[in-house]
């Protein structure tokens, strides 16, 4: 049985006997290292970021300087993807010489599916018909803390694991799950699993965040030292990062030309949309060799990520888990709604979107399958022709690829820095009452409040509303956009670092391909345009449910103030026009600070 508590234990070996060997715990490095290297000096506002919980010093060093961010951007420092590639290249001869052993292992991470899973499929090919294939999932409580994973998302992952375990068991493949309390110990612990099971090859799909790229590079080298081949492959994106470059030979930083290149690349390489088949199961003989591993159950969710009983029941009903549900939801969307997607997608009161983001984030659905399924509903194989709604929806799914490509090339985005480092110099406000009002949905701006209450209740928010509330926080309140980025990750059931960071960068005008900083969403105009009848507002802000007509968008400014006040709805906490002027001055001063 897997561990019931957050303590390290020896893995169960296929013959059922515990292995007596143990490993030394890696020596923990200090969180800061004094250095005269200017690239290792923190940003001048690092202490403020730490004080407000933006940088978690338990896991990470202080906010890095703008100079260090520029060093990554100009190739002066190696990117984590380059460190991983170097590990792969340098260990290639050793890995090629590894012969298949007593088992082959696939390490599940954010790819919790059996269908269209490249690394799982390749693991099956390596194992062949007679060698058992084992599934592995590592629960890392510290990673959940470091990555601010929402309890709703953790709950979704654990419900998915139960479904995945059953799907694999039907194929005669066990899923072994173990909790590793210290995130630094994961590479060594995985190699221990391999040794205890006599496994020769570990397969995994690549993740593109900095922590994960560095971890995979370490595991590859550790495996090579122990005679174990660790194969990390691209699968998360339709087009792998690095495959697309501009005419100048660099990564695109603007979506439109990138998307044109992405479509052209897919058209030229149709195999990119060819799904991987469900792998063959273990033979009866191979299954018997690993029979004891089928006793492994899904462990309890770490205590600090557990939902209440009422929340667990609510989220299970809202967000059914597993890849079968993902495909059902995708097929239904393509059948019923995708044709009108381009026209209706911006209206939060309409159920016009696919709502598959939670499945893309957990990997219960691949981006490849999503794009191919939509394309196959079109009357052409071209991604830029045919039904407008299908074209638009595929272009929206492609943003997910784009933000990962950006993350790989500008890794400091993972380090609490904006894509444009000079925007780190903006003097943000940290008004506690304003932040609390924004988080709780009581700013006095009805569309903002409706969206924030939806997030708290269902763990999800319509994309148009995500842009509105992000602009409001960073510009109307002049609050540090990273506080909003964090709040989203702590509450979104579809929390995905690359997409979340990219969205906040766009709305706060600090990211890649953003709206210019002098463009500030007017929450009233956004409300009137995208919720014209006030249906969305009335659903999520019950205090305004009986306010008639257009007054619902601005009750205190349109004659419904007494009614709103009686129902307990607050007045606007800021004046939009004044806030806009304040934001423009602060942004301009911040970005000009380091100019000569």
Whole-angstrom distance, CA of residue 165 vs CA of residue 162: 5
| Angstrom distance (rounded) from CA 192 to CA 199 | 10
Map 443-507 to HEC letters. Answer: CCCHHHHHHHHHHHHHCCCCHHHHHHHHHHHHHHCCECHHHHHHHHHHHCCCCCHHHHHHHHHHH
Q: Which of 19, 425, 463, 522 is catalytic?
A: 463
Cβ partners under 8 Å of residue 574, min gap 6? 434, 443, 476, 477
258 is a catalytic site residue: no
- Report how far residue 113's alpha carbon sits from residue 532's, in angstroms, rounded to the nearest whole number: 40
- Cα–Cα distances (Å) from 559 to 430, 545, 556, 563, in that order, read 32, 15, 6, 9
What's the token pair of residue 510? Answer: 């600090």
Using CA atoms, how far apart are residues 495 and 366, in angstroms rounded to an integer? 16
**Active-site entry in 107, 393, 438, 481:** 481
Length of the chain: 596
Q: Give the chain's largest Cα–Cα span.
A: 78
Q: Which of 121, 258, 428, 460 is catalytic?
A: 428
> Of 45, 79, 58, 37, whose CA–CA distance to 421 is shortest?
45
Tokens representing 38 are 């200017």
Has 463 been annotated as catalytic?
yes
Of 399, 410, 460, 540, the active-site residue reads: 399
Task: Mark whether 540 is an active-site residue.
Answer: no
Structure-block tokens of residue 216: 């995979």
Say which of 107, 460, 504, 540 is annotated catalytic.
Answer: 504
Catalytic residue among 82, 396, 422, 490: 396
Q: Is residue 593 within 8 Å of 425, Cβ to Cβ?
A: yes
Extract the tokens encoding 174: 């066990």
Residues acting as catalytic residues = 396, 399, 428, 463, 481, 504
């Amino acid at each position: 049985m897997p561990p019931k508590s957050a303590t390290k234990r020896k893995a169960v070996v296929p013959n059922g006997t515990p292995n007596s060997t143990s490993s030394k715990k890696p020596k923990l490095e200090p969180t800061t290292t004094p250095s005269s290297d200017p690239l290792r000096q923190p940003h001048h506002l690092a202490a403020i970021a730490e004080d407000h919980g933006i940088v978690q010093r338990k896991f990470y060093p202080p906010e890095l300087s703008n100079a260090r961010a520029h060093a990554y951007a100009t190739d002066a420092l190696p990117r984590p993807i380059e460190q991983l590639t170097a590990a792969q290249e340098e260990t290639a001869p050793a890995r090629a010489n590894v012969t298949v052993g007593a088992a082959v292992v696939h390490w599940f991470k954010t790819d919790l599916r059996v269908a269209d899973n490249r690394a799982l499929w390749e693991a099956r090919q390596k194992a062949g018909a007679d060698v058992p294939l084992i599934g592995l999932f590592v629960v890392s409580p510290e990673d959940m803390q470091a990555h601010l994973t929402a309890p709703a998302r953790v709950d979704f992952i654990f419900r998915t694991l139960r479904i995945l375990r059953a799907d694999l068991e039907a194929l005669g493949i066990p899923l072994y799950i173990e909790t590793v309390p210290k995130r630094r110990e994961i590479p060594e612990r995985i190699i221990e699993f391999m040794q205890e099971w006599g496994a020769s090859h570990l397969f995994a799909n690549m993740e593109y965040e900095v922590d994960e790229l560095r971890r995979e590079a370490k595991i590859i080298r550790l495996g090579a030292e122990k005679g174990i081949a660790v194969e990390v492959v691209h699968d998360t994106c339709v087009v792998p990062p690095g495959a697309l470059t501009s005419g100048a030979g660099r990564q695109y930083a603007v979506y439109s030309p990138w998307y044109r290149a992405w479509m052209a690349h897919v058209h030229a390489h149709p195999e990119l949309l060819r799904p991987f088949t469900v792998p063959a199961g273990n033979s009866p003989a191979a299954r018997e060799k690993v029979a004891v591993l089928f006793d492994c159950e899904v462990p309890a969710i770490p205590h600090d990520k557990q939902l209440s009983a009422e929340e667990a029941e609510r989220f299970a009903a809202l967000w059914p888990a597993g890849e079968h549900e993902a495909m059902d939801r995708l097929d239904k969307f393509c059948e019923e709604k995708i044709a009108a997607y381009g026209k209706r997608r911006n209206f939060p009161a309409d159920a016009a979107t696919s709502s598959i983001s939670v499945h893309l984030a957990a990997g219960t659905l691949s981006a490849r399958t999503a794009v191919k399924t939509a394309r196959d509903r079109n009357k052409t194989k071209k991604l830029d022709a045919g039904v407008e709604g299908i074209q638009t929806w595929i272009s929206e799914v492609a943003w997910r690829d784009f933000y990962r490509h950006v993350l790989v090339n500008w890794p400091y985005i993972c380090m609490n820095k904006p894509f444009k480092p000079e925007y780190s110099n903006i003097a943000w406000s940290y008004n506690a009452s304003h932040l609390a009002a924004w988080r709780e949905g009581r700013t006095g701006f009805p569309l903002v409040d409706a969206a924030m209450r939806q997030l708290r209740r269902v763990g999800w928010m319509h994309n148009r509303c995500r842009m509105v509330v992000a602009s409001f926080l960073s510009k109307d309140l002049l609050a540090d956009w990273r506080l909003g980025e964090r709040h989203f990750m702590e509450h979104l059931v579809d929390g995905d670092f690359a997409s979340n960071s990219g969205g906040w960068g766009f709305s706060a005008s600090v990211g890649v391909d953003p709206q210019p900083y002098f463009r500030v969403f007017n929450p009233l105009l956004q409300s009137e345009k995208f919720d014209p009848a006030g249906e969305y507002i009335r659903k999520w802000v019950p205090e305004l449910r009986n306010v008639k007509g257009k007054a619902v968008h601005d009750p205190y400014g349109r004659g419904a103030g007494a009614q709103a006040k009686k129902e307990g709805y607050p007045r606007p906490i800021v004046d939009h026009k004044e806030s806009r002027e304040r934001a423009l001055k602060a942004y301009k001063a911040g970005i000009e600070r380091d100019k000569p």
